């Protein structure tokens, strides 16, 4: 298939992997930010082609994984209300809250609908004027423009029974948090290509300068990722710390100005808690004051306060790249995709779920506890 | 930005068991597997049921019979390339074929929802009749019920079928041997994506049609040719991967397949890419896998390809000599190996 096959070509993959092996003279640790990239790396086995001196750590870029548990609880609570039609992307439905997930809310009688676009939720609201339609707006800068468009459309068409339960997050503040944290191991970043397709690459230049770290904007196919790693390794070997764009077929320097303008109109930057990580300043989007009428938390009350929980889940360490999924004591035992203890085991983009699904007992898997690649 | 962020792990307590049935319990994945293991099989435990084949095979007097049943709840009931009526006939015919049986007689129970247009019902019944004629089976007994509006998706159909075996082969996962070739009868993913494309709320345009078709006409020539067919399995709910995982587990052997060898049509691949689906897990209604000794693989492929329904038949892998029993491994397109595991439930479209 065009634009797929050429990026999954075994021969080309081998050539890039050989280049990486030749150029990497020292051990390096590189983090891919985006859960989509984590999934692709583990699914296609990209990491198994890399030299052992190279360590890939999987970043917090899975929107499902980092949505705070109190927002899942709020979603479940709203979804149980008889007047509500609760709309969500599919992979949020299985994320466990403290008491239930949205699939259980549906089984308990809640009107929970899986939609493929927030615009579908606006249509459902227009068709059901006597019901309250709530869309669960999660994700990074990639999902934010469509969610913003849904609010703008609802406002323009006077669809007042539509609202967003918003848990939008932003990538650069999370990278800043990872780089500033004590014990940081990350020496280079693969930035999320689709986030940059919206936001452009400008936000990453101060990060690269301040932390002297190479950042390569990278796509999602196996060859994209290998090429991103190759560019990153070359910068590390040459002592450079620049923002490079591997994903030029999708990412322009300025991003998508129309989408950015829409974000600035509908949303404002706010502090946000990340599941497994904690609060990061200026790392989220909430509805701007003039669109506050579309805020589900104003309509149905704010999300409950976060509570400390006793748990064996080491999501915080895994999302920061300190632990490998299989180094967690619960991995594959107490914690499985059927009964996840933490968010990274829930979404197909979560690092733990990706390892559990594709790598659980493949022979190449390194011994327990070893610091291993990928 | 603060100098350093206080990282506090805040993960939830587990939900140990679901107190209510979820839709995903019927999705063909791990949850369904658990439901069958913990509740359904123990309730009816007997050796025939526990063979876990698509049909139960037993002897009545001198005759070997295969017996099977299946319920059909597809939404919408009419989809590109077929409808629930044809599906209900072919599905049961195929379950019999996978035991190596000649399908003979079918029953059908219709559960109809108040308000169903008579025209729709007529079309579905005509389709059932047409499918039965094509498959050479007779629909000889049945039942009809009507439920209140809102209590059903227009129409549900349950069919049961009886077939005869005119050979002494045992065709079952337990017969699979190390070194067997794994053959696939054609491209995968069409039925699932055809239904997805017309399902409410999903607005992508496609010309993908279901592959819904009777398979016994493909199987019978393999048996007639005297090939030592070890196991057959149609790749319905849960797709090719789920069928192979079931066989690997029942046979207690390791299967290895090559992603590059599995044909997926370009439009199906494209739709899967958009939704974040893996075509290996997408449902088919006219595809099956066949396990037989590697030395007979080429002959079997030639026989399959002689029929238009099997024109795309190919060899996708082997049964490993050694390895981990019950495991399915896939060589990815870029040449790395990974596990193919049972999905937890249905595939859910990804956020981004």
- Domains of chain A in sequence order: 1-308 (3.40.50.11740), 315-359 (no CATH)
Residues of A in contact with B8 (CB under 8 A): 277-278, 308, 316
Q: Do A10 and B338 touch (CB under 8 A)?
A: no
Chain B residues whose CB is inside 8 A of the A316 CB are 7-11
pLDDT beneath 70: ranges in chain A: 308-311, 348, 360-374
Distances from the Cα of A129 to the Cα of A126, A244, A292, B234, angstroms: 6, 49, 20, 45
Contact A358 B202 (CB under 8 A): no
Q: Is residue B22 within 8 Å of A103, Cβ to Cβ?
A: yes
Is A314 within 8 Å of A323 (Cβ atoms)? Answer: yes
Distance from CA of A13 to the nearest CA of B (A): 6
pLDDT of residue B3: 37
Q: What is the mean pLDDT of residues B287-303?
A: 98
**Higher confidence at residue B303 or residue B50?**
B303
Main-chain dihedrals φ then ψ at residue A249, nearest 5 degrees: -70, -15
How many angstroms away from the CA of B109 is the closest CA of chain A?
A: 26
Q: Are A244 and A231 in contact (CB under 8 A)?
A: yes
**According to the model, what pLDDT value does residue B204 have?**
65
pLDDT at B276: 82
Residue ranges of the alpha helices (H) in chain B? 30-35, 41-44, 47-50, 84-97, 118-135, 190-198, 216-224, 239-251, 266-275, 297-305
Strand order in the sheet with B102-113: B56-60, B63-72, B155-165, B102-113, B138-147
Report the residue of chain B nearest A1, measured CA to CA.
B266
How far is A25 from B214, CA to CA, in rounded Å? 59
Work out the average pLDDT over B165-183. 95
A 10 A CB-CB count for B315 gives: 18
Mention every residue, 6+ apart, whose C-beta is less than 8 A from residue B63. Answer: B164
Which is nearest to A164 in space by CA: A281, A270, A292? Answer: A292
Q: Which of B14, B270, B338 sits opposite A359 (nearest CB)?
A: B338
pLDDT band at B349 (very low <50, low <70, confident <90, very high): low
Choose which CATH entry (1.10.40.50, 3.90.650.10, 3.40.50.620, 3.40.50.150) describes domain B173-339. Answer: 3.90.650.10
Q: Two tokens at B97? A: 């074929």
Chain B hits for A176, Cβ within 8 Å: 1
Q: How far is A137 from chain B (nearest CA, A)?
A: 10
Q: Is the pLDDT of residue B15 over 70?
A: no
All structural domains of chain B with their residue ranges: 54-165, 173-339
Which residues of chain B lie closer than 8 angstroms to A174, CB-CB? none
Please name every residue paired with B71 in a beta bridge, in sequence order, or none if there are none.
Answer: B158
Q: Does A68 touch chain B if contact means CB atoms closer than 8 Å?
A: yes
Provide, as residue numbers in chain B, all residues whose Cβ is less than 8 Å from the Cβ of A276: 9-11
- Percent of all residues in chain B with a pLDDT value above 90, rounded to a whole number: 71
**Torsion angle (degrees, nearest 10) of CA A234, A238, A242, A245:** -20
Structure confidence at residue B346 (pLDDT): 66
- Per-residue burial over A169-208, b if 16 or more Cβ lie within 10 Å, else e, is bbbbbbbbbbbebeebebbbbbbbbbbbbbbbbebbeebb
* Cα–Cα distance measured from residue A335 to residue A196, given in angstroms and rounded to the nearest whole number: 33
Interface check A277 vs B, CB under 8 A? yes
**Cα–Cα distance list, B347 to A94, A317, B87, B176, B342 (Å):** 11, 28, 21, 29, 11
Segment (H or E) for A285: strand A278-287
If you search the block for the tokens 């979603």, which residue do you land on? A75
Which residues, including other chains, have CB under 8 Å from residue A173's CB and lie 6 or more apart? A280, A281, A282, A283, B1
Least confident range of A353-367, B96-110, B174-188, B284-298: A353-367
For B337, the closest of A45, A309, A314 (CB atoms) is A45
pLDDT in tens, A72-87: 999 999 999 999 999 9
Q: Which residues of B fall within a CB distance of 8 Å from A94? A: 24, 344-345, 348
CA distance A291 to chain B (A): 24
Write the pLDDT tens digit of every residue in A326-345. Answer: 888 889 888 888 777 777 88
Distant-in-sequence, close-in-space partners of B294: CB < 8 Å, separation ≥ 6 = B179, B180, B181, B318
Across-strand partners of B269? none
Sheet holding A84-88, edge to edge: A111-114, A84-88, A132-139, A162-169, A278-287, A267-274
Nearest CB neighbour to A45, from listed B332, B345, B351: B332
Listed by number, the residues of chain A in 281-310 with a beta carbon closer than 8 Å to a beta carbon of chain B are 281-282, 306, 308-309
Structure token digits, residue B10: 């805040």
Distance CA B85, CA A196 (A): 48
| Closest approach of A48 to chain B, Cα-based (Å) | 7
The answer to whether the Cβ–Cβ distance between B11 and A343 falls below 8 Å is yes
Report the 10 Å Cβ neighbour count for A108: 14
CB nearest to B7's CB, from A104, A173, A278: A278
- Residue in this structure with the two tokens 């609202």, named with its chain if needed: A163
Q: Kindly determine whether residue A177 and residue B350, on different chains, have CB atoms separated by under 8 Å.
A: no
B337, B342, B347, B348 alpha-carbon torsion, rounded to 10° = -90
Residue of B9, B197, B272 to mutate when probing chain A, most A C-beta within 10 A? B9
pLDDT at A337: 80
Residues of B in contact with A222 (CB under 8 A): 332-334
Region B197-205: mean pLDDT is: 68
Nearest Cα residue to B14 out of A179, A96, A90, A350 = A96
Once rounded to an integer, what is the mean pLDDT over residues B126-149?
97
pLDDT-above-70 percentage for chain B = 91
Cβ–Cβ of B344/A45 closer than 8 Å? no
Give the pLDDT of residue B345: 65
For domain B54-165, say whether CATH 1.10.10.10 is its number.
no
- Asked if A175 is an interface residue toward chain B (Cβ–Cβ < 8 A), one would say no
CB–CB contacts below 8 A, A to B: 210
CA atoms within 13 A on the CB side of A169: 27
Distance of CA B97 to the CA centre of its chain: 13
CB half-sphere exposure, B341, CA atoms < 13 A: 23
Cβ–Cβ gap B351/A13 under 8 Å: no
Q: Is A269 on the interface with B (CB under 8 A)?
A: no
Both tokens of A29, joined, read 């640790």
Among the partner-chain residues B7, B269, B344, the one whose CB lies closest to the CB of A4 is: B269
């Amino acid at each position: 298939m065009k634009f797929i096959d050429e990026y999954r070509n075994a021969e080309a993959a081998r050539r890039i992997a050989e280049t990486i092996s030749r150029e990497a003279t020292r051990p390096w640790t590189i983090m891919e930010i985006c859960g989509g990239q984590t999934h692709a790396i583990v699914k296609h086995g990209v990491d198994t082609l890399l030299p052992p001196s190279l360590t890939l750590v999987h970043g917090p870029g899975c929107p499902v994984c980092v949505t705070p548990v109190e927002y899942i609880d709020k979603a479940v609570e709203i979804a149980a209300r008889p007047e509500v039609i609760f709309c969500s992307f599919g992979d949020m439905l299985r994320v466990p809250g403290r008491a239930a997930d949205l699939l259980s809310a549906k089984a308990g009688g809640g009107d929970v609908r899986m939609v493929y676009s927030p615009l579908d939720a606006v249509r459902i609201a227009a068709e059901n004027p006597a019901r309250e339609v709530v869309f669960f707006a999660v994700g990074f800068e990639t999902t934010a423009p469509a969610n913003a468009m849904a609010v703008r459309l609802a406002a323009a068409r006077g669809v007042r029974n539509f609202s967003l339960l918003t848990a939008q997050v932003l990538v650069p503040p999370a990278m800043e948090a990872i780089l500033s944290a004590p014990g940081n191991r990350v020496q280079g970043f693969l930035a999320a290509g689709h986030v940059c397709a919206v936001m452009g690459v400008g936000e990453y230049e101060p990060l690269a300068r301040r932390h002297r770290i190479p950042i390569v904007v990278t796509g999602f196919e196996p060859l994209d990722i290998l090429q991103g790693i190759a560019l990153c390794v070359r910068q590390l070997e040459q002592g450079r710390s620049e923002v490079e764009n591997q994903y030029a077929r999708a990412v322009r320097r300025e991003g998508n100005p129309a989408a950015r303008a829409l974000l600035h109109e509908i949303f404002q930057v706010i502090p946000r808690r990340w599941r497994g990580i904690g609060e990061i300043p200026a790392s989220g989007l909430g509805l701007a004051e003039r669109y506050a009428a579309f805020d589900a938390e104003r309509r149905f009350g704010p999300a409950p306060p976060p509570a400390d929980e006793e748990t064996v889940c080491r999501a915080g360490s895994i999302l920061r790249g300190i632990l490998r999924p299989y180094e967690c004591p619960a991995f594959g035992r107490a914690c499985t995709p059927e009964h996840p203890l933490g968010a990274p085991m829930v979404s197909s983009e979560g690092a733990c779920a990706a390892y559990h699904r594709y790598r659980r007992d493949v022979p190449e898997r390194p011994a327990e506890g070893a610091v291993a690649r990928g | 930005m603060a100098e350093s962020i206080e990282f506090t792990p805040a993960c939830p307590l587990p939900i140990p068991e679901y107190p209510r049935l979820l839709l995903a319990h019927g999705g063909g994945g791990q949850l369904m597997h658990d439901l069958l293991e913990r509740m359904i099989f123990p309730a009816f435990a007997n050796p025939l049921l526990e063979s876990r084949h698509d049909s139960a095979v037993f002897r009545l007097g001198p005759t070997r019979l295969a017996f099977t049943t299946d319920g059909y709840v597809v939404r919408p009931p009419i989809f590109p390339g077929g409808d629930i009526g044809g599906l209900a006939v072919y599905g049961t015919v195929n379950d019999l074929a996978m035991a190596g049986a000649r399908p003979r007689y079918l029953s059908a129970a219709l559960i109809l929802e108040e308000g169903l247009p008579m025209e729709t019902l007529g079309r579905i019944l005509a389709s059932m009749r047409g499918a039965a004629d094509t498959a050479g089976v007779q629909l000889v007994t049945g039942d009809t019920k009507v439920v209140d509006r809102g209590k059903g998706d227009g129409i549900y159909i349950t069919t049961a079928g009886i077939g005869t075996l005119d050979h002494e082969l045992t065709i079952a996962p337990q017969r699979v041997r190390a070194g067997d070739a794994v053959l696939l009868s054609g491209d995968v993913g069409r039925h699932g994506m055809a239904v997805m494309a017309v399902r409410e709320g999903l607005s992508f345009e496609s010309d993908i049609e279901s592959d819904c078709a009777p398979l016994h006409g493909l199987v019978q020539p393999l048996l007639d040719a005297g090939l030592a067919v070890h196991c057959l399995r149609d790749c319905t709910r849960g797709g090719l991967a789920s069928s192979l995982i079931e066989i690997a587990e029942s046979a207690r052997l390791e299967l290895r397949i090559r992603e590059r060898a599995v044909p997926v049509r370009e439009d199906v691949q494209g739709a899967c890419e958009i939704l974040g689906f893996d075509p290996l897990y997408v449902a088919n209604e006219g595809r099956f896998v066949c396990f037989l000794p590697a030395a007979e693989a080429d002959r079997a492929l030639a026989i399959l390809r002689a029929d238009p329904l099997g024109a795309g038949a190919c060899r996708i892998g082997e049964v490993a000599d050694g390895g981990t029993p019950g495991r399915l491994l896939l060589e990815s397109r870029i040449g790395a190996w990974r596990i193919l595991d049972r999905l937890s439930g249905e595939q859910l479209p990804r956020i981004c």
